[in-house]
Structure 1
Amino acid sequence: MSTDDKNRAVAAAILPLVGGAGNITSVAHCMTRLRLGLRDRSLVRDEELRALPAVMGVVEDDTYQIVLGPGTVARVTPEFETLVAEAPAAEAPADSASSADDLAAQGAAIKAARKAKNQTPFKLFLRRIANIFVPLIPALIGCGIIAGLNGLLVNLGWLPAVTPALAAMASGFMALIAVFVGFNTAKEFGGTPILGGAVSAIIVFPGVAKIDAFGQTLSPGQGGVLGALGAAVLAVYVEKWCRRWVPESLDVLVTPTLTVLVSGLVTIFGLMFFAGEVSTAIGDFADWLLVHAGAGAGLVLGGLFLPLVMLGLHQALIPIHTTLIEQQGYTVLLPILAMAGAGQVGAAMAVYLKLPRNGSLRRTIKSALPAGFLGVGEPLIYGVSLPLGRPFVTACVGGAFGGGFVGLFSMLGDKVGSTAIGPSGWALFPLLDGNHGLGRTIAIYAGGLLVGYLAGFTATYFWGFSDRLLEEFDVETETGTKTVVAASTTPSNPSGPNPNPESEPEPAKA
């Protein structure tokens, strides 16, 4: 079977289990999940869906999210969309309400009930922040890897005729990232995306170097992504005000003009300066924290990252990561947060040894560990640690020790950073950068992973099981039974956008 046929087969297997094409209102995907809008949640056959070999788990949020893993989801989603589009227009989900209006009302009621349980204005705001930055992650990853390759070639003195071209490829996106942030921000907040991009483009325009604001000459890029975020939000509010008050006959001329003019003036003579000060403060604080309290900060960040994700607060880190990459070329926080995934891997290996008779759980661990090493933690979390309880806590212990190890070296002057957000685990190696050479940076990060594995394993093996837990789970099971469990929490995602029932996902998994 060809790759295309395999992906189409996966899509075809999923479609009837989510109620058929008539039950689908929207199809999208992030780094690892197929995200479906459903008319009637009750039509989904969860257990059969989780039992599919390609499915690593499911998560319920505003959308129904099916975990397929990186790479796979990007290939299955187009096939799934094709199957939905090819379905007869009259097709409706079986056992559904009698009319489209009934279906829409039923789906809206289910969606509202789910959102009402855990949503707060702050978490909804963080989700919007994630929606702005998550689509940028593929470009950040690609450009980050090219930047790392270019740096290696420059250090080795190889291919001098090629390295300038690689530098241009790696830097072009980052030079204009404010425009993309502005475009996505306006789209997310209900404005015209191109107007958000147009206002944000002012920030990177070289001509701003001729402008004085607050007694200082502005510099292109000042304020960065934070300035672009603020500028685009302002543009949305100006545009919406114009739509209410400008006559329709003049709207096409007046609204975009006033939007760019008003928002642009505020951006030039206010937002660029203040956002620049905030961006600088973020970079200075991150440096100060790791230089003066690196081990302790790493211990806290690595240990509390999974609970942070469960509360949906990890998304606040996305613009911070992006700001650090914009300023320094890499984010020093991501390698520390990635240690949460190392603790999870170590905990899973301990569970494997502690439950020798539970064939189904051991099978899940064996199949999920390769993905865990590569930074995809969902199968291990949903299928192992969260259902067991204590191993999730001891996995956090492993993350704490790994984060403390990386943070300790920051105190000693060896920074370890990532040129992009998204991947973690072994998948982060191509994106590593630091201040003392690539070899030393890789060695420190690898040492942190090893510490995380060992600490997570040790804590779980010796303290991760009560007698009752062992009695309940160390029993004979069918080895062919798939045990991936859906959970209402989310795996580690160092980049911040990951996906849990209280937040949008995110893009890479620890």
Structure 2
Amino acid sequence: MAENKNRDVASAILPLVGGAANVTSVAHCMTRLRLGLADRSLVRDEELRALPDVMGVVEDDTYQIVLGPGKVARVTPEFEELVEEGRAAAPAAGAHPVTADELAAQGAELKAARKEKNATPFKLFLRRIANIFVPLIPALIGCGIIAGLNGLLINLEWLPGITPALAAIASGFMALIAVFVGYNTAKEFGGTPILGGAVAAIIVFPGVANIEAFGQKLSPGQGGVLGALGAAVLAVYVEKWCRKWVPEAVDVLVTPTVTVLVSGLVTIFGLMYVAGEVSTGIGTAANWLLDNTGAFAGLVLGGLFLPLVMLGLHQALIPIHTTLIEQQGYTVLLPILAMAGAGQVGCAIAVFKRLKRNKSIRTTIKSALPAGFLGVGEPLIYGVSLPLGRPFVTACVGGAAGGAFVGLFSMLGDKVGSTAIGPSGWALFPLLDGNKGLGTTAAIYGGGLLVGYVVGFLATYFFGFSKQMLIDLNADVDAGESAAARAEEGPSAPHTDPTKEPAQV
């Protein structure tokens, strides 16, 4: 039954994005179906947003349809199958009015125009970095939860015969994460992925402990994910140089050898040391920031995270989180940033209370709040706070208050961290870790969420609406068609224009 439902969702979406012939690529992340489109003008945005299973849409290099965690992974295969079936049937039906060449030309034109207008080299670079690390998140989450469970069992002195096995399961991925980063980096930058992984594997090889560089012995893992990223990028450039100059007859022998040899030597006698110093600096800076300016740092980070997401700049934090997890076992930044979602929840509850006669917005909030409590913020952002304007700002105020609360305890010596990146809200509880007991860590994080909820609610309730907004948005939706249309369009019409960047909360 579930499979049929997922196919029904895919069937409803496909014609609204221009049909199978208009879809050039299909992919998904944790919450979104990401589509490459030949002709953006064929998409019927309003009808798409009106679908019950669609939480919102975001435009970027790809057209992104927010379906939520779990669901998107089930809908995507059904959507891909429908696209393939549609493409196979299209020549016989002759339904599409233009040729494939014409569609490709239109798509290239639209893509070029959009990139020229919105893309900057810095943002494009950050997206590439995100593309390297985002595929690793499921493994980080799974291993992080297992590590937390193992720690609990050890503290309770339960199942002593099982805990060593759980420790191995939880730690195996992190011990080799540099290899996965190298593989994904080479793939993202246009090289041979396995060569990127091979060069990055040098960093975690135990034998590097016998090598001296910059007057000191190297240690396995030195440089971590940053070193792996740099090594793989170097490998891509060496490989491309070889492809250009090495004769085809000996390419299969020479290119891999030269790529691994040159990149490996530079990694051992340069990158491992430099990246190790940078990684150490990141950990030291993060700890210093929270130890000395915790409340203020939490206020700024919690309050500005959602605007950073809107600008796409949050992607720069991904390698920092991963480096902290690799170094310390947890990232102290994520629980603070997660407070932004708490502000959104408090804001949404206040909107629900203030707009008592707007059934459309209240229905959206009722359906989106459970996901919001679990840390999935897109439905509340794109369906409620951002389109309304002022509530988005007051939601950020709630996030700032929650961040200041968690940051204050860091100043007092109680650090709260997460063993993985990705989840937030209540979903982060199984991943919590810190320098004190699990009970203290969970209590501080829970207190931060509560502060975010309360301040987000109060700020939105008292300052989130002008008098005119309340008049316009609180109209009786049963009084006439125009009022109903206005209520329905209010939370959805501005979805794409103000954002332009993907948001992962």
TM-score (norm 1): 0.94
Residue of structure 2 in register with 1:56 after alignment? 55
Q: Which amino acid aligns with 2:299?
A: L
The answer to whether 1:154 aligns with 2:154 is: yes
Q: Count how many residue pairs are aligned between Structure 1 and Structure 2.
A: 496
Residue of structure 1 in register with 2:3 after alignment? 4
Residue of structure 2 in register with 1:317 after alignment? 317
The answer to whether 1:272 aligns with 2:280 is: no
Q: Which amino acid aligns with 1:210?
A: N
Residue of structure 2 in register with 1:225 after alignment? 225
Check conservation: 2:57, 2:65, Cα contact below 8 A: yes
Residue of structure 1 in register with 2:141 after alignment? 141
Q: Which amino acid aligns with 1:307?
A: P
Deviation at 1:481, TM superposition (A): 5.0
> Aligned runs of 1:243-392 on 2, under 5 Å?
243-392=243-392
Q: Which amino acid aligns with 1:50?
A: R
Residue of structure 2 in register with 1:117 after alignment? 117
Deviations 1:459-497 (CA, angstroms, capped at 9, x unpaired): 11111111222122111226895854562479xxxxxxx
Check conservation: 2:365, 2:384, Cα contact below 8 A: yes
Q: Which amino acid aligns with 1:47?
A: E
SS in 1 for 2:54: coil
Check conservation: 1:343, 1:453, Cα contact below 8 A: yes
Deviations 1:241-290 (CA, angstroms, capped at 9, x unpaired): 11111111111111111000000000000000000000001001111111
Residue of structure 2 in register with 1:395 after alignment? 395
Check conservation: 1:409, 1:415, Cα contact below 8 A: yes
The answer to whether 1:417 aligns with 2:417 is: yes
Q: Could you tell me how far apart the structure 1 residues matched to 2:477 and 2:325 are?
A: 48
SS in 2 for 1:207: helix
Q: Could you tell me how far apart the structure 2 residues matched to 1:34 and 1:89 are?
A: 22
Check conservation: 1:29, 1:77, Cα contact below 8 A: yes
Q: Which amino acid aligns with 2:495?
A: A
Q: Which amino acid aligns with 1:469?
A: M
> Aligned runs of 1:88-237 on 2, under 5 Å?
88-89=87-88, 91=90, 98-237=98-237
Deviations 1:52-100 (CA, angstroms, capped at 9, x unpaired): 1111011111111110000100111111112222234251799855321
SS in 2 for 1:375: coil
Q: Which amino acid aligns with 1:215?
A: G
Quick check: 175-184 or 13-22, which moved more?
13-22
Residue of structure 1 in register with 2:43 after alignment? 44
RMSD over equivalenced CA pairs, Å: 1.7
Q: Which amino acid aligns with 1:238?
A: V
Deviation at 1:30, TM superposition (A): 0.2
Q: Could you tell me how far apart the structure 2 residues matched to 1:376 and 1:85 are?
A: 31
SS in 1 for 2:90: coil
Deviations 1:306-354 (CA, angstroms, capped at 9, x unpaired): 1111221111100000000000000000000000000011111111111
Check conservation: 1:182, 1:197, Cα contact below 8 A: yes
Check conservation: 2:147, 2:167, Cα contact below 8 A: yes
CA distance 1:170–1:197, change in 2 (3 Å): same
Q: Could you tell me how far apart the structure 1 residues matched to 2:261 and 2:7 are?
A: 49
Percent identity, aligned pairs only, is 80
The answer to whether 1:20 aligns with 2:19 is: yes
Q: Which amino acid aligns with 2:210?
A: K
> 5+ unaligned residues in a row in structure 2: which ranges?
479-483
SS in 1 for 2:35: strand
Deviation at 1:116, TM superposition (A): 2.0
Quick check: 107-116 or 412-421, which moved more?
107-116
Residue of structure 1 in register with 2:481 after alignment? none
SS in 1 for 2:436: coil
Deviation at 1:501, TM superposition (A): 3.4
CA distance 1:218–1:459, change in 2 (3 Å): same
Residue of structure 2 in register with 1:404 after alignment? 404
Check conservation: 2:332, 2:416, Cα contact below 8 A: yes
Deviations 1:433-475 (CA, angstroms, capped at 9, x unpaired): 1111111111100000000000101111111111222122111
Structure 1 counterpart of 2:495, from 473, 487, 490? 487
Q: Could you tell me how far apart the structure 2 residues matched to 1:113 and 1:96 are?
A: 24
| Structure number with higher relative contact order (C-alpha < 8 Å, ≥ 6 residues apart) | 1
CA distance 1:489–1:347, change in 2 (3 Å): farther
Residue of structure 1 in register with 2:73 after alignment? 74
Q: Could you tell me how far apart the structure 2 residues matched to 1:374 and 1:110 are?
A: 37
TM-score (norm 2): 0.95
CA distance 1:48–1:185, change in 2 (3 Å): same
SS in 2 for 1:89: helix
Q: Could you tell me how far apart the structure 1 residues matched to 2:251 and 2:276 are?
A: 33
SS in 1 for 2:88: coil
Q: Which amino acid aligns with 2:460?
A: T
SS in 2 for 1:27: strand
Check conservation: 1:119, 1:502, Cα contact below 8 A: no
CA distance 1:348–1:229, change in 2 (3 Å): same
Q: Could you tell me how far apart the structure 1 residues matched to 2:342 and 2:406 are?
A: 12
Q: Could you tell me how far apart the structure 1 residues matched to 2:23 and 2:80 are?
A: 10
Deviations 1:139-186 (CA, angstroms, capped at 9, x unpaired): 000000000000000110000111111111100000000000000000
